[in-house]
Chain A
Amino acid sequence: MIKHKFLVLLLLAPASFLYAQANPFGGEVRPWYIDEPCVDDNHVNFHECALEAAENFEPPRTLDGVPDMSGIWRRRSALHESILAHPVTLDDFGGSTGIVSTDNGLVPIQDWAEAKRRYNRPAYVHHNAICQLDGIPTTMYMTGTYQFMQSPGQFLVQGEEAHAFRMIDIDRDQHIGEGIRLWNGDSIGYWEGNTLVVETRNQNARPWLDQRGRFYTNEALMTERFTMIGPNTIHWAVTVDDPNVYTEPFTISLAYRRSRNQDTFEVWEEACYEDNAFAEQMFQDIGYDVHKPISGEEARRLSAAWDLENGELEVLEETQ
């Protein structure tokens, strides 16, 4: 028994240093975070707590008078792995479900789409592994550290990984035309009290929602809400609305915590595609395909085909 403990300590000592420095998930010490209010190890609890906390907090303001959410922000959730509850494994940090709008915490996905998702995961390389942009909402939880910046009429989010960024235009009248589809779509924001509401359309729907192959179509509407609930916490939630794939709109939520090193941290360039050829060749050699997006039209056709395959026609006449 004592031998085991010693071994455990030996293993833990160097590892825990790296763990404390690098792993954002769990443990008593979170050196980069300012970790309050509303504990966020459980997304549902955080979401409910945050909705209340928002009512008691008056955020700092920018020079043009809107809530000031600028700074360096970290998320500790592992929604990029799966937006559903999933355990810790060698490959996953794990976490509770990010879905806060359903009673059971599951994704309200249509049957044909769940079957497609299960095929997606083993068949296709994840978009992020080949340096493709993440789309909305995945951009907001794919990487761990973000810089939010504000200028009158604009809200800029950038992450370091693969130099991803998205620009939100505040109070623009209308979205770009339907003939233009973009990886990160087209985002228009507006203020509702202290909450920045952002509507995103015009996505090409090539990226996934998580590493489990969850997808949407080019007709999706993503509505995000950013609300400061404390000096160092932003409550973020997104409602995914795509009746081509899901049985109802559903909402995912997570916490951004202000980074303790925000006065010194700088986002550095992390090129991706330029030096990723070796890894990309490996994916090809293993046999992964590149995922092709499903359009709204194709989704409806697949859904009808699924019903035909799995539904039952009314029996007109029994046969012997």
Chain B
Amino acid sequence: MKKFMAFLFAFTFLGALPIFAHHSIALQFDMTQEVEIEGTVVSMEWRNPHAWLQVEVTADNGDSEIWQVEFGAANSLYRRGWTQGDLPVGAEVSVHGLPARDGSNTIGAEDVTLADGRTLFAGSRQ
């Protein structure tokens, strides 16, 4: 059962992270941990080899900090029909993923969920 659940986890996991992982994800992110943040979409860099989403999070003490969320290549987003205009700047999002091994405010995104339950840039744009 454990093996099966781990396998399932792998399925959902593969949703947002770069599929043809050109390099090992474990190099950069701690795959034994999970992190979740909630914040506001600030901006996004539509780049290769990784697109980066910037999310503003308000810490407990009231300070706001920017978290970097790593996506796959911008090309893969374009191919599925997503473009810069689709970014809901200002939207509330919850980001779930892997924490960076260097301790920075960086997440390897597993999913980025909007307030209405939709996952940002999942699947193809219709």
Chain B positions 73 through 84: 1 when the CB is less than 8 Å from some CB of chain A, otherwise 0: 101001100000
Q: Given the complex of chains A and B, what is the CA–CA distance between A80 and B18 in angstroms? A: 15
Residues of B within 8 A of A160 (CB): 75
A-B pairs with beta carbons under 8 A, tally: 114
Does the CB pair A90–B24 fall under 8 Å? no
Bitwise interface map of B from 2 to 22 toward A, beta carbon under 8 Å scored 1, else 0: 000011111111110001111
Which B33-85 residues have a C-beta within 8 angstroms of A? 45, 47-50, 52, 68, 70, 73, 75, 78-79
Closest chain B CB from A287 CB (angstroms): 9
User: What's the nearest-Cβ distance from chain B to residue A165, in Å?
Assistant: 15
Q: Knowing A162-B49, A270-B48, say if A282 contacts B73 (CB, 8 Å).
A: no
Task: Report the minimal beta-carbon distance from A138 to chain B, rounded to whole angstroms.
Answer: 11
Whether the pair B11, A126 counts as a contact (CB closer than 8 A) is: no
Say yes or no for A144: interface residue by CB 8 A criterion: yes
- A17 B10 Cβ-Cβ under 8 A: no
Q: Assess the A211–B20 pair: CB atoms within 8 A.
A: no
Q: Is A8 an interface residue (CB 8 A)?
A: yes
Interface size class of A (residues with CB under 8 A): 35 or more
Q: Is the CB of B22 within 8 A of A142?
A: yes
Question: Beta-carbon contacts of A241-273 to B below 8 Å, as 1s and 0s?
Answer: 000000000000000000000000000111110
Pick from A268, A275, A285: contact of B102, CB under 8 Å: A285
Partner of A279, one of B13, B28, B78, B119: B28
Q: Does A125 make an interface contact (CB < 8 A)?
A: yes
List residues of B (81-123) whose CB comes within 8 Å of A's CBs. Answer: 100-104, 106, 119, 122-123
Contact A18 B15, beta carbon cutoff 8 Å: yes
Question: Interface range on chain B: under 10, 10 to 19, 20 to 34, or 35 or more?
Answer: 35 or more
Residue of B nearest to A161 (CB): B22
Are A22's CB and B14's CB within 8 A? yes
Other-chain residue from A88, A129, A142, A211 in contact with B10 (beta carbon distance below 8 A): A88
Do A17 and B12 touch across chains, with their CB atoms under 8 A apart?
Answer: no
Flag if B19 contacts A23 (CB, 8 Å). Answer: yes
Contact A8 B8 (CB under 8 A): yes
Q: How far is the CB of B80 from chain A (nearest CB, A)?
A: 9
Q: How far is the CB of B22 from chain A (nearest CB, A)?
A: 5
Measured CB to CB, the closest approach of chain A to B99, in angstroms, equals 12
Chain A nearest CB, measured from B125 CB (Å): 13
Contact of B52 among A23, A88, A278 (CB under 8 A): A278
Q: How does the 8 Å CB contact mask read for A10-23 relative to B, with 1 for contact and 0 for none?
A: 01101111110111
Whether A91 contacts B31 by the Cβ 8 Å rule is: yes
Q: Are the CB atoms of A91 and B24 closer together than 8 Å?
A: yes
* A276 in contact (CB, < 8 A): yes
Chain B CB within 8 A of A316 CB: no
CB distance from B107 to the nearest CB of A (A): 12
User: Smallest CB–CB gap between B98 and chain A, Å?
Assistant: 9
A183, CB-defined interface residue at 8 Å:
no
In the bound complex, CA of A311 to CA of B9 (Å): 47
B19 pairs with A22, CB closer than 8 A: yes
| A-B CB contact pairs (8 Å), 21 listed | A12-B8, A14-B15, A14-B122, A15-B11, A15-B12, A18-B15, A22-B14, A23-B14, A90-B6, A91-B26, A92-B24, A161-B20, A161-B22, A162-B49, A270-B75, A271-B47, A275-B48, A275-B49, A276-B49, A278-B68, A285-B103
Q: Interface on A for B, CB 8 Å cutoff?
A: 8, 11-12, 14-19, 21-24, 80-81, 88, 90-92, 125-126, 128-129, 131, 142-144, 160-162, 211, 268-272, 275-276, 278-279, 282-283, 285-286, 288
Smallest CB-CB A-B distances: 9 pairs? A129-B23, A285-B102, A15-B11, A275-B47, A22-B19, A144-B20, A270-B48, A91-B26, A15-B12
